[in-house]
Amino acid sequence: MSLTPQLLVVKDLSTTFDTPAGPLAAVGGVSFDLNQNETMGIVGESGSGKTVLARTVMGLQPRSKVTVSGSVLLNGFEVVGASDVEKQKIWGLQVAMIFQDPMTSLNPVMRIGRQIDEILRVRLGMDRHAAKARAIELLELVGIPSPAERYHVFPGQLSGGMRQRVVIATALAGSPQLLLADEPTTGLDVTIQAQILNLLDEIKERMKMSVILVTHDLGVVATRTSRLIVMYAGRIVEMGSTRDVFVNHRMPYTRALLDGSPKVSNPSHTRLLAIPGRPPNLLKLPPGCSFAPRCSFATDRCHKERPELQPANTPGHTFACWNPLPTNRGASA
Amino acid sequence: MSDTRQPLLRVRDLTVNFGSHRHPLSAVAGVSFDIYEGETLGLVGESGCGKSTTGKALMRIVEPSSGSIELEGVEITTQKGKALRNLRTRMQMIFQDPISSLNPRRRAKDIVAEPLDCWKSVEGDERTALVNDLLSKVGIDPIVYGNRYARQFSGGQCQRISIARSLAMRPKLLICDEMVSALDVSIQAQILNLLEDLKAEYGLTLLFIAHDLAVVKNVSDRVAVMYLGKMCEIGPPDTLYDAPEHPYTQFLLGAALEADPDSPLHGEVLVGEPPSPMNPPSGCRFRTRCPFATDKCAAEEPLLVEMAPGHTVACHYPLSLSRT
């Protein structure tokens, strides 16, 4: 792992929103790194801070009412504290982001070709003809049929799946090394979702990119990521290779997520192991482990002291829990 | 085996057309199925396949254009006025967005009591007791939360209140339209378990409409697959998921992502997107995306044929024939 240079190093990153009800720690003390040409998944339920984390890595926050501390080092560039002018040098060229709703990420009154052109002309300084040729190439790359004709259509004339392909094309225009995909397939049908995820895999290999896949759906990350981060209430509760997190997880919340989702391979009417309660209010986080109020293994210590990430048996696998699940349970999960 | 039972709901050749005369859009194009008493029929399909419209047509929230719907032997499509209102107490619907299905400015107990007040079926102490009972059955403490407003509840709690409201009139049939798709995994599991418990306790029959194949398999006794307004396949979940007969079902299952790092990445991904229902293909509606399509598929529309007891498929070339 030490041979390949790390593309992204995140250290002790916190994002706190200043709300009328007090400071809200959407992301609290998150550290991780990402290698070149690696796909990492970030999973969690709504409100777990996964989207805020991705946006903070990208350097996208409103200027006021947000406090960011820690460090995000992208290819040697410190994102935290950089001005917008400085960040514009990396946006699109080193890091790009695709969002959940492809309709709102595209300008509805601008032809799709022009939206891709814009990046090529402004960021890469291409002239009009070169930009158009490259935009058509990009549309072809993301699998849009008859790209030369589609160059002239408006986003509203395309289906959801096609729009997401256009969004991916705009993200790829500056050949970024890191692509942040925030719930890229959530609004899409299963057959279209499979197409888009395959496309992302293919492009990642072809363009030698790294991808961070943010999602609530464990199925999306199970076979497509090499490492996985599980977030709960703004913190990383477990992190490791995808296999370790799925099979040898130590944190009870990770198990609850896995047991709570119905599986196609299980017979019908299999009782789901649901955990009671719901995620905590981020304004009133419990002093100890955030998951303790819902955890069946919780002890006094869990309610009082917050567990830090500690290493598990396999290198690179860490978890934050005082009473972890036993190891070597085999592949029965 | 299921043929001996009397169906609770019998749907024959149901069609629902939207749009104008000049530009008709048939959202549901001749769908037939039965739901037997006490069972859960899962209805899956991608967006635009007509699954929600089918559910709404059963409630007559949208008007069926033709066809017949019989609930407990009574034809629903021709009912009007008071008779229709009476029928609607026998079936209730739960919608996808739990928050927008409740009036944010009303209290939880009033929301649950509303059907009772409309029908004046119970009053006074009996009414209060029934409302409290319904709320506790769905896991909302009536003493603590009964007086809170709908806007003060989370999505999962709102869905619980919707369920309590739908059970107030003791319906026979509950139509659940994507009722867990807006919820987080841990909340979804709670609601699905709750639904199974209530189904047993109240003797409910369910039509469970959803796009998530794993969720549908989990709750269903039989599963129906729809594509572009037509029924593709109906069968028991374990056989339908293990050995699908319709190529579309196979592709749909192949695209479903399992939360398991060892699950094989299914190589074959369905190409293209569903055609517009404004201008559906001739013959079999799936033929434009089907790798096995022949001239016969374009010329003749396949009818639902029984392959095994309780397992029917609408395809000229069912997969079990090519498997052997």
* pLDDT computed for residue A2 by the predictor: 46
In whole angstroms, what is the distance from residue A147 CA to residue A127 CA?
Answer: 20
Residues 180-199 in B contacting A (C-alpha not used; CB under 8 Å): 184-190, 192-193, 196
Residues A111-128 have a mean pLDDT of 92
pLDDT band for A333, please (50, 70, 90 cuts). Answer: very low
Closest CA to B55 of B172, B199, B210, B175: B175
Closest partner residue to B193 (CB to CB) among A198, A272, A278 is A272
With an 8 Å Cβ cutoff, is A276 touching chain B?
Answer: yes
Find residue B175's DSSP bridge partners: B93, B207
- pLDDT in the model for residue B3: 52
Asked whether residue A331 carries a pLDDT value surpassing 70, the answer given is no
Can you give the pLDDT at residue A42? 97
| A242-264 b/e (C-beta count within 10 Å ≥ 16 → b) | bbbbbbbbbbbbbbbbbbbbbbb
Query: Residue B6: its pLDDT value, please?
Result: 81
Exposure class string for A125-135: b at 16+ Cβ within 10 A, else e: ebeeeebbebb
Chain B 249-268, CB below 8 Å of chain A: which residues?
A: 251-263, 265-266
User: pTM here?
Assistant: 0.87
Q: Report the pLDDT value the prediction gives residue B254, as an integer from 0 to 100.
A: 86
Phi and psi (nearest 5°) for A68?
-115, 130
Q: Does the structure show a pLDDT above 80 at A330?
A: no
Q: Is residue B214 a contact partner of residue B263, using CB atoms and an 8 Å limit?
A: no
Weakly modelled stretches of chain B, pLDDT under 50? 1-2
CATH topology of domain A6-332: Rossmann fold (3.40.50)
**What does the pLDDT read at residue A278?**
83
> What pLDDT sits at residue A4?
59
Interface test with chain A among B40, B47, B257, by most A beta carbons within 10 Å: B257
Task: Please name the residues in contact with A94: beta carbons below 8 A apart, sequence gap of 6 or more.
Answer: A74, A75, A77, A176, A177, A178
Structure tokens that stand for A95 in this block: 């890091």
Identify each DSSP E strand in chain A by its residue range: 6-19, 22-35, 39-43, 66-74, 77-78, 95-98, 178-182, 210-215, 227-232, 235-241, 310-311, 318-319
CA distances from residue A47 to A51, A232, A233, B246 in whole angstroms, order as listed: 9, 8, 7, 40
B261 chain-A contacts, CB cut-off 8 A: 222-223, 242-243, 246-247
Q: Which of B190, B218, B260 sits opposite A270 (nearest CB)?
A: B218
Per-residue model confidence as pLDDT tens digits over A250-308: 999 999 999 988 888 888 888 998 888 888 889 989 999 999 999 999 999 999 999 99
Residues of chain A contacting residue B310, judged by C-beta atoms under 8 Å apart:
none
Q: Do B189 and A198 touch (CB under 8 A)?
A: no
What mean pLDDT is predicted for residues A241-245? 95
Q: To 10 degrees, the CA torsion angle through B265, B269, B273, B279?
A: -140
User: What is the fold, at CATH topology level, of the domain defined by B2-90+171-323?
Assistant: Rossmann fold (3.40.50)
User: Per-domain residue ranges for chain A?
Assistant: 6-332
Q: Which chain B residue shows the shortest CA-CA distance from A162?
A: B273
Give the pLDDT confidence score for residue A303 in this predicted structure.
95
With the C-alpha atoms ordered A331, B196, B130, B83, is the resulting torsion angle positive or negative?
positive
Res. A1: pLDDT tops 60: no
Residues of B whose CB is below 8 A from A46:
184
Residue A3 in this model has a pLDDT that exceeds 60: no
Report the residue from A220, A243, A272 with minimal CB separation from B192. Answer: A272
Query: Encoding tokens for residue A273?
Result: 């192991």
What does the domain layout of chain B look like in residue ranges? 2-90+171-323, 105-166
Mean of pLDDT values over A3-10 = 82
Report how far residue A265's alpha carbon sits from residue A262's, in angstroms, rounded to the nearest whole number: 9
Give residue-wise pLDDT tens across range A13-59. Answer: 999 999 898 999 999 999 999 999 999 999 998 889 999 999 999 99
Whether A285 and A29 have beta carbons less than 8 Å apart is answered as no
**In this complex, do B254 and A270 lie within 8 Å of one another by their Cβ atoms?**
no
Tokens of A308: 């830090």
Tell me the ipTM for this assembly.
0.82
Chain A partners of B240 at a C-beta cutoff of 8 Å?
none
Is the Cβ of B99 closer than 8 Å to some Cβ of chain A?
Answer: no
Name the percent of chain A lying above pLDDT 70: 97
Q: What is the pLDDT of residue A275?
A: 87
What percent of chain A shows pLDDT beyond 90?
A: 71
**What is the predicted pLDDT for the residue at A328?**
60
Rg (CA), chain B: 21
pLDDT digits (tens, 9 = 90+) for A84-118: 899 989 999 999 999 887 778 899 999 999 999 99
